[in-house]
Amino acid sequence: MMILLYFIALLLAGIASGLVGAMSGLGGGVVIIPILTLLFGVPLEYAAGASLISTIATSSGAASAYVKDKLANIKIGMSLEIATTLGAIIGSLLAAYVYANGISKWLFVLFGAVLLLSLYPTFRQYEDVHRKRINQDWSTDIFQLRGSYYDKAVRRTIKYSGYRWPLGEAIMGVAGLISGLLGIGSGVLKVMGMDWGMKLPMKVTTSTSNFMIGVTAVTGSAIYWTLGYIQPFIAAPVVIGILFGAYFGSKLLQRTANRSVRLLFLVLLGIIGVEMVLRGFGVA
Amino acid sequence: MDMNYVISYVLRIGVVASVLLVSAGFILLFVNNGSNGLALSQIASANSGINSSIFTVPAIIGGIFAYQGIDFILLGLIVLMATPVTRVFFSIFAFLYNKNWIYAVITLIVFIDLMIAVFVVPSLLVR
């Protein structure tokens, strides 16, 4: 009976994480890892394993909706996955080193720090929603960094183009490394790379990020599998929960303007980031 | 060829198959009060050392035919992991079909990265 309740609790934790993960473009990982470690007392490597494999579900579940609605830019996403996959291989091998040497408390600190650092660019752009959507340089043409989408919130088709592909690619390398190291989709960094780096519209960056997360996460997950970081009883309910949460999250995202999505970003990131840093230093 | 439609379809099939396998796995797990000769309490524990490193793909496939809950759950997770890989694989051909050579090459590079992570790195780690 207790085991069944534990299973249901894991499922509910997954639903909550999936909802927030899809709506914010972060992936469920940044929410489920603190829930599993801080509330459920699950070891960080199992939390990271459950998180990483479930971000594949978040990505595939939500992205299938985004792709159909043409919010996600498949080409831009694919070109940036060169760096995220290489970064994820290096990151997951680094994670193996960290866990083998018993210094995982630094991963809690890093986890919190990554979230808190991501507050700055998010906050800065919060007032910058209606900026110029057409930017061009040499990489715009070579890598075909153009597209258009129908924005349900303002009811019209928005054309856009991005630039500074090498900068985007460099940020994606770091995003991949963090993904493999911490077991998250690194949605924050991916959004930063496309939003701040390549100046793509926010709706496109969040959905393309969500789309890309699956490929990044599967890279790390394959290595996590061999390392034994995936505990099926913990990972699987989280995966199912996150899938359903992400489904409803992606439905909600289409009906929400940029403003409320970002506010949700800020509040959640702040609280979770501080909690994880404190845990790393042994305070909480 | 509408690539958006194909990709959306691949992602959906993979996810649905994964959910069905994992759900079947948990039903078997709770009905049989265990799996693979392990008690349910051992399987649910984070400290018992039950994790992905002790299960191989051939053993998982074998367990499916013996209706072992854990093997259904793990196969579900493998299907989930295979979904984005399949998506990338199909995209190579979609770009070739549309004569978008630079993106065919880009997608091939991503696919090679994935193969390194799925096959090359694990074989080096196990050794």
Q: Around A167, how many Cα atoms within 13 Å sit in the side-chain half-sphere? A: 17
pLDDT at B20 over 80: yes
Query: What confidence score (pLDDT) does residue B26 get?
Result: 92
d(CA A251, CA A110): 32
The average pLDDT across B62-88 equals 90
For the residues of B87-120, what is the DSSP string, one character each?
Answer: HHHHHHHHHHHTT-HHHHHHHHHHHHHHHIIIII
Chain B interface disruption, residue of A42, A144, A218, most B CBs within 10 A = A218
Under 8 Å CB pairs connecting chains A and B tally to: 179
pLDDT at A178 over 80: yes
The average pLDDT across A34-43 equals 90
Query: What confidence score (pLDDT) does residue B18 get?
Result: 93
What is the number of structural domains in chain A?
A: 1
The average pLDDT across A79-85 equals 95
Residue A138: name the closest of A115, A166, A175, A108 by CA.
A166
| Pair type for strands A156-161 and B34-35 | unpaired
Q: Which of A178-187, A221-230, A255-264, B29-38 has the lowest mean pLDDT?
A: A255-264
d(CA A283, CA B80): 37
> Chain A 210-229, CB below 8 Å of chain B: which residues?
214-215, 217-229
- For residue A75, the chain B residue with the least C-alpha distance is B103
Q: CB-based contact (8 Å) between A39 and chain B?
A: no
The average pLDDT across A179-189 equals 88
| Residue-averaged pLDDT of chain B | 88
Given CA atoms B108, A196, B4, B97 in this order, what sign does their dihedral have?
Answer: negative
pLDDT at A273 over 90: no
Burial of B23 (C-beta count, 10 Å sphere; 0-12/13-18/19+):
middle
Chain B interface disruption, residue of A177, A233, A234, most B CBs within 10 A = A233
pLDDT at B85 over 70: yes
B88 or B35, which is more confident = B88
Query: What confidence score (pLDDT) does residue A127 get?
Result: 46
Q: What is the pLDDT of residues B24-71, one digit of tens each?
A: 999 999 998 888 888 888 888 888 888 888 888 888 888 888 888 899
Query: What confidence score (pLDDT) does residue A128 get?
Result: 47
Pick A60's closest partner by Cβ from B15, B51, B126.
B15
B98 or A119, which is more confident = B98
The average pLDDT across A3-30 equals 83
Using an 8 Å CB-CB cutoff, list chain B residues near A239: 18, 22, 77, 80
Helix axes A74-100, B101-115, angle to 10 degrees: 20
Query: What confidence score (pLDDT) does residue B92 get?
Result: 92
Q: What is the pLDDT of residues A86-138, one digit of tens each?
A: 999 999 999 999 998 988 889 999 988 887 876 665 555 544 455 567 788 88
Q: Which strand (E) or helix (H) includes residue A155? A: none
Compute and round to an integer the Cα radius of gyration of chain B.
18
pLDDT at A81 over 70: yes
Contact B51 A67 (CB under 8 A): no
Contact A222 B117 (CB under 8 A): yes
Q: CB-based contact (8 Å) between A253 and chain B?
A: no
| Residue-averaged pLDDT of chain A | 84
The average pLDDT across B2-25 equals 85
Query: What confidence score (pLDDT) does residue B72 get?
Result: 94
d(CA A29, CA A54): 8
Q: CB-based contact (8 Å) between A73 and chain B?
A: no
Domain range for A148 is 2-280
> Chain A 99-158, CB below 8 Å of chain B: which residues?
142-144
Please report, rounded to a whole number, the percentage of residues in chain A having pLDDT higher than 90: 35
Query: What confidence score (pLDDT) does residue A48 get?
Result: 94
d(CA A218, CA A215): 5
Contact A232 B52 (CB under 8 A): yes
Burial of A266 (C-beta count, 10 Å sphere; 0-12/13-18/19+):
middle
CB A196 within 8 A of CB A125: yes
Query: What confidence score (pLDDT) does residue A26 get?
Result: 66
pLDDT at A241 over 80: yes
Contact B77 A234 (CB under 8 A): no
Chain B interface disruption, residue of A225, A229, A244, A247, most B CBs within 10 A = A225
The average pLDDT across A59-80 equals 78
Q: Work out the minimum CA distance from A48 to partner chain B, whole angstroms.
A: 13
Q: CB-based contact (8 Å) between A49 and chain B?
A: yes
Q: Work out the minimum CA distance from B62 to partner chain A, whole angstroms.
A: 17
Using an 8 Å CB-CB cutoff, list chain B residues near A93: 121
pLDDT at A219 over 80: yes
- Which of the 8 DSSP states describes residue A134? B
User: Looking at this predicted complex, what is its ipTM?
Assistant: 0.91
pLDDT band with cut points at 50, 70 and 90 for residue A49:
very high
The average pLDDT across A61-66 equals 66
pLDDT at A257 over 70: no
> Which of A46-60, A222-236, B5-19 reaches the highest mean pLDDT?
A222-236
pLDDT at A17 over 90: no
Query: What confidence score (pLDDT) does residue A51 get?
Result: 94
Query: What confidence score (pLDDT) does residue A66 get?
Result: 65
Contact B106 A63 (CB under 8 A): no
d(CA A230, CA A87): 20
